[in-house]
Amino acid sequence: METKQLSDLIVEFNEWLDDAGQSETNDPNAMSVATVDAEGEPSLRMVLLKEVDDRGFVFYTNFESQKGSEILDNPKVALGFHWKSLRRAVRINGIAEQVSDEEADAYFQSRARDSRIGAWASQQSRPMDGRFSLEAAVAKYAAKYPVGTVPRPPHWSGFRIVPHRIEFWKDKPFRLHERRQFNKTEDGWTKAILYP
């Protein structure tokens, strides 16, 4: 059975992501993130991949949001990428770990100022009385941080998904698609070809 290293898989993933950057109109780095709650109810939403390397796949969020709290309770996560223009997809299963404070601070400060204010103002995933309550919160934090650095909220950071399974999918004629699945072992990553 063929064995690879994670670095080989990340190189291929980045090649596909670069191809998507040339052909996808919007957000080639968009990915679905699947989590489960305490009762085992699954939940799926779209986020943006912000970094990928041999350590894993990184995105940022409010830890008090539904996805944030679910991941903190159960770090098993699935990711999905679908690039329709390329007729390719990647599926990833892994374990979430928090990025370092230094990584989160650096990324937070790279965001647009309005996005940093929004991270303070939004009680992400929770019901709101109306749009005015959000706008009032934005005004409150814009007044609190009128100039200079907007600090990162303590409830806002990132997750790195450390993969243990990666599948590359390519469209083929007559729905006889190509599926290559790689599973982490003690010796590296074993490859399996799956039926479509």
Residue 105 CB neighbours (<10 A): 15
| pLDDT band, very low/low/confident/very high, at 2 (cuts 50, 70, 90) | confident
Give the chain's length.
Answer: 196
157 Cβ contact partners less than 8 Å away, ≥ 6 residues apart: 60, 61, 63, 98, 99, 101, 104
| 91-134: pLDDT as tens digits | 999 999 999 999 999 999 999 999 999 999 998 888 988 999 99
Which residue among the candidates 113, 175, 179, 180 is catalytic per the annotation?
Answer: 175
Instruction: Provide the pLDDT for residue 4.
Output: 81
Question: Across the chain, what does the average pLDDT equal?
Answer: 96
pTM of the model: 0.94
Q: Is the pLDDT of residue 1 over 80?
A: no
Yes or no: say if 122 and 133 are a contact pair by the CB < 8 Å rule.
no
pLDDT digits (tens, 9 = 90+) for 3-57: 789 999 999 999 999 999 999 989 999 999 999 999 999 999 999 999 999 999 9
The verdict on whether 175 is a catalytic residue reads yes
> Which tokens is 189 given?
């990553």
Q: Widest CA span of the chain, in angstroms?
A: 61
The fourth-level CATH superfamily of domain 3-109+154-194 is Electron Transport, Fmn-binding Protein; Chain A (2.30.110.10)
